[in-house]
C-alpha cells in the first residue's frame, strides 16, 4: 500500500487542478454494471460490459480510471505496476469483489481524442504467447503416448508438476509472483520424488560458511560434529539442496540449445487492434544462461529464495526481475528469469515422462470430422 500513501502525500501539496498530470488505467469488475465513481480524488468512468471471454466465470464490465498526479510524475514500468496493483488490492478489499487492473501502459492519441492501452505483462515471458508450432498433432501424440505408459505413482508425481506448470502459465500475466512460485513448486515436486537428498556435509553448498562460523566460535570437534549432524537433519535444508541438485544435474546438454524467442504483438494506434505476432529476438537458452551447471545451481538457489519470500512473506517482485535481462548473460546473484525456469520445468517433466513410461499404444480409434455441405 506504500505507493498509494506516497501518491496521497504528493496530492496533499496540490492547491489547484491547474497543471495536474493524469495517469490512465483500466479496471474490470464482475457483473454488467461497471464501476462508477465521480467527484473524488480520482475518477472512475464507466465504459460498459465486456464481450464474453472463455477465461471468465461471470459477466464483466470495465471502466477507465483517471489518476491525478504532479507534473513530471509520469510513472515508469515498475511504479505503474506497483501503483495499479496496490489500487486493485484496495478496491477488492473495499468492494469485496474481484477487481482487476491489467498491467499495461496508456498511450494518448490526441488526433483521435482517445487513449489506447498497450499490455506490458507479457514482458515476463514472451515465448509462451507466440504462434502455435506447426506440428501440434505429433507433439500431442508423443506426450499422450508417454502419459498412458506411466505407473500410477508416476502419474501422480509428474501430474502434480504438470499442473503447477499449467497454473503458472494461467497466472503469468496477471500475478507473475504466484506464477513463478508455481514453477519452483513444480520442480520441487519432481525433485522430492526423483532427486537424491544430500547426506554428506560437504555436499551442502552452505557448509563452508558454517565451518567458518564454527572456527570463529572456537568449537570443539565434538561440538562441530553435533552441529553438522543436526543441520543435515533439517528438512528445509534438504528440500532446497535437493531442488538445486536435481534441476542442475538432470537436464541434458541439449537443454541449452532450446529456443528462447521473444514474440510481440503490436497495436494499431488508429484502431486499437492488435497486429500479427513478430519474433523480435530469435535466440537460445545459452544466449542468456551459460552452460555451467555450478552457475545454474547458484541461480536455482536464488529462485528458491525468491519463491520462499513470496510464499512466506508475500514479498513484492518487480516485473523486470522475472524477465530475461536486457544484457545477457545472467549474473550469479539473481534468480532465473521466468521463461528459463519455465523451460527447465517443462524439460524435466518430459525427461521423467519419457524415461519412466513403459512402451504403450494409444487406442486404435479416430473421431472423424463431420463434413459440411
Highest mean pLDDT out of 130-139, 261-270, 335-344, 356-365? 335-344
Nearest 10 degrees: Cα torsion 172, 176, 177, 181: 20
| 201, pLDDT greater than 70 | no
Dist CA 302 CA 248 (whole Å)? 13
| 181, pLDDT greater than 70 | yes
The boundaries of the domain holding residue 24 are 2-119
Q: Would residue 367 count as lying in a domain?
A: no
Q: Would residue 251 count as lying in a domain?
A: yes
Task: Give the distance, in angstroms, between the CA of residue 14 and the centroid of all CA atoms in the same chain.
Answer: 38
| 182, pLDDT greater than 90 | yes
Cell of 332: 550469479
Please check whether residues 153 and 261 belong to one and the same domain.
yes
Q: Would residue 14 count as lying in a domain?
A: yes
Dist CA 190 CA 184 (whole Å)? 10
Q: Are 303 and 341 in contact (CB under 8 A)?
A: yes
What pLDDT, on the 0 to 100 scale, is given for residue 74?
A: 64
Number of domains into which the chain is organized: 2
What pLDDT, on the 0 to 100 scale, is given for residue 11?
A: 85
What pLDDT, on the 0 to 100 scale, is given for residue 80?
A: 87
What pLDDT, on the 0 to 100 scale, is given for residue 168?
A: 96
Q: Would residue 362 count as lying in a domain?
A: no
Angle between helices 176-194 and 293-313 (to 10 degrees): 120
366 or 53: whose pLDDT is higher?
366
What pLDDT, on the 0 to 100 scale, is given for residue 280?
A: 85
Q: Would residue 128 count as lying in a domain?
A: no
Nearest 10 degrees: Cα torsion 351, 354, 358, 359: -160
Please check whether residues 70 and 191 belong to one and the same domain.
no
Dist CA 274 CA 266 (whole Å)? 6
Nearest to 10 by CA among 316, 18, 20, 1: 20
Q: pLDDT confidence of 325, banded at 50, 70, 90?
A: confident
Q: Would residue 125 count as lying in a domain?
A: no
Which residue, chain included where needed, has cell 555451467? Answer: 292
Dist CA 280 CA 262 (whole Å)? 6
Q: Are 23 and 106 in contact (CB under 8 A)?
A: yes
CA distances for 77 relative to 84, 116, 259, 318, 372, angstroms: 11, 16, 27, 9, 50
Please check whether residues 44 and 154 belong to one and the same domain.
no
| 235, pLDDT greater than 60 | no
Please check whether residues 74 and 211 belong to one and the same domain.
no
Dist CA 21 CA 75 (whole Å)? 11
Please check whether residues 85 and 171 belong to one and the same domain.
no
Please check whether residues 104 and 141 belong to one and the same domain.
no
- The 10s digit of each residue's pLDDT in 341-363 is 999 999 999 999 999 999 888 88
Q: pLDDT confidence of 228, banded at 50, 70, 90?
A: low
SS3 call for 176: helix
114-119 and 60-69 strand pairing? unpaired
Percentages of the chain per state (helix, strand, coil), in multiples of 5: 50, 15, 35
Please check whether residues 247 and 307 belong to one and the same domain.
yes
SS3 call for 58: coil
| 122, pLDDT greater than 90 | no
DSSP 18-30: TT-EEEEEEEEEE
Q: Would residue 81 count as lying in a domain?
A: yes
- The 10s digit of each residue's pLDDT in 146-174 is 999 999 999 999 999 999 999 999 999 99
Please check whether residues 200 and 288 belong to one and the same domain.
yes
SS3 call for 280: strand
Please check whether residues 208 and 290 belong to one and the same domain.
yes
Mean pLDDT, residues 246-262 taken together: 95
What pLDDT, on the 0 to 100 scale, is given for residue 95?
A: 94
- The 10s digit of each residue's pLDDT in 300-310 is 999 999 999 99
DSSP 186-240: HHHHHHHHHS----SGGGSTTHHHHHHHHHHHT--HHHHHHHHHHHHT-HHHHHH
What pLDDT, on the 0 to 100 scale, is given for residue 301?
A: 94
Query: What's the pTM?
Result: 0.86
Q: Would residue 194 count as lying in a domain?
A: yes
CA distances for 153 relative to 82, 163, 356, 366, angstroms: 42, 15, 11, 29
What pLDDT, on the 0 to 100 scale, is given for residue 333?
A: 85
Q: Is the peptide bond before 329 cis (omega within 30 degrees of 0)?
A: yes
Q: pLDDT confidence of 278, banded at 50, 70, 90?
A: confident
Cell of 55: 477465461
Q: pLDDT confidence of 12, banded at 50, 70, 90?
A: confident
Average pLDDT, the chain: 87
Share of the chain above pLDDT 90, in %: 53
| 51, pLDDT greater than 90 | no
Please check whether residues 27 and 84 belong to one and the same domain.
yes
Other beta carbons within 10 angstroms of residue 345's beta carbon come to 25
- The 10s digit of each residue's pLDDT in 53-93 is 777 788 999 999 999 888 877 667 888 889 999 999 999 99
What pLDDT, on the 0 to 100 scale, is given for residue 21?
A: 84
Amino acid at each position: 500500500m506504500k505507493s498509494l500513501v506516497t501518491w496521497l502525500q504528493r496530492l496533499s501539496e496540490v492547491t489547484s487542478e491547474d497543471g495536474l498530470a493524469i495517469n490512465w488505467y483500466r479496471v474490470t469488475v464482475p457483473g454488467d454494471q461497471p464501476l462508477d465513481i465521480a467527484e473524488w480524488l480520482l475518477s472512475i468512468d464507466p465504459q460498459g460490459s465486456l464481450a464474453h471471454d472463455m477465461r471468465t466465470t461471470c459477466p464483466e464490465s470495465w471502466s477507465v480510471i483517471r489518476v491525478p498526479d504532479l507534473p513530471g510524475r509520469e510513472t515508469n514500468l515498475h511504479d505503474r505496476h506497483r501503483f495499479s496493483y496496490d489500487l486493485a488490492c484496495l478496491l477488492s478489499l473495499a468492494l469485496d469483489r474481484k477487481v482487476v487492473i491489467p498491467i499495461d501502459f496508456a498511450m494518448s492519441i490526441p488526433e483521435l481524442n482517445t487513449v489506447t492501452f498497450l499490455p506490458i505483462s507479457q514482458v515476463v515471458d514472451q515465448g509462451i504467447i507466440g504462434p502455435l508450432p506447426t506440428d501440434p498433432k505429433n507433439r500431442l501424440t508423443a506426450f499422450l503416448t508417454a502419459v498412458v505408459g506411466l505407473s500410477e505413482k508416476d502419474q501422480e508425481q509428474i501430474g502434480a508438476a504438470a499442473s503447477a506448470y499449467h497454473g503458472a502459465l494461467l497466472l503469468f500475466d496477471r500475478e507473475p509472483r504466484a506464477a513463478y512460485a508455481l514453477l519452483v513448486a513444480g520442480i520441487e515436486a519432481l525433485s522430492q520424488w526423483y532427486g537424491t537428498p544430500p547426506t554428506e556435509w560437504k555436499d551442502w553448498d552452505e557448509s563452508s560458511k558454517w565451518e567458518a562460523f564454527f572456527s570463529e566460535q572456537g568449537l570443539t570437534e565434538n561440538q562441530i560434529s553435533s552441529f553438522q549432524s543436526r543441520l543435515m537433519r533439517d528438512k528445509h535444508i534438504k528440500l532446497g539442496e535437493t531442488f538445486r541438485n536435481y534441476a542442475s544435474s538432470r537436464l541434458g546438454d541439449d537443454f541449452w540449445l532450446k529456443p528462447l524467442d521473444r514474440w510481440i504483438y503490436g497495436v494499431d494506434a488508429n484502431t486499437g487492434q492488435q497486429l500479427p505476432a513478430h519474433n523480435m529476438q530469435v535466440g537460445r537458452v545459452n544466449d542468456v544462461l551459460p552452460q555451467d551447471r555450478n552457475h545454474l545451481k547458484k541461480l536455482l538457489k536464488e529462485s528458491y529464495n525468491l519463491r520462499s519470500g513470496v510464499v512466506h512473506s508475500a514479498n513484492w517482485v518487480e516485473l523486470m526481475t522475472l524477465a530475461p535481462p536486457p544484457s545477457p548473460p545472467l549474473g550469479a546473484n539473481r534468480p532465473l528469469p521466468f521463461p528459463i525456469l519455465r523451460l527447465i520445468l517443462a524439460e524435466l517433466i518430459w525427461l521423467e515422462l519419457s524415461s519412466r513410461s513403459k512402451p504403450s499404444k494409444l487406442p486404435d480409434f479416430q473421431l472423424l470430422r463431420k463434413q459440411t455441405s
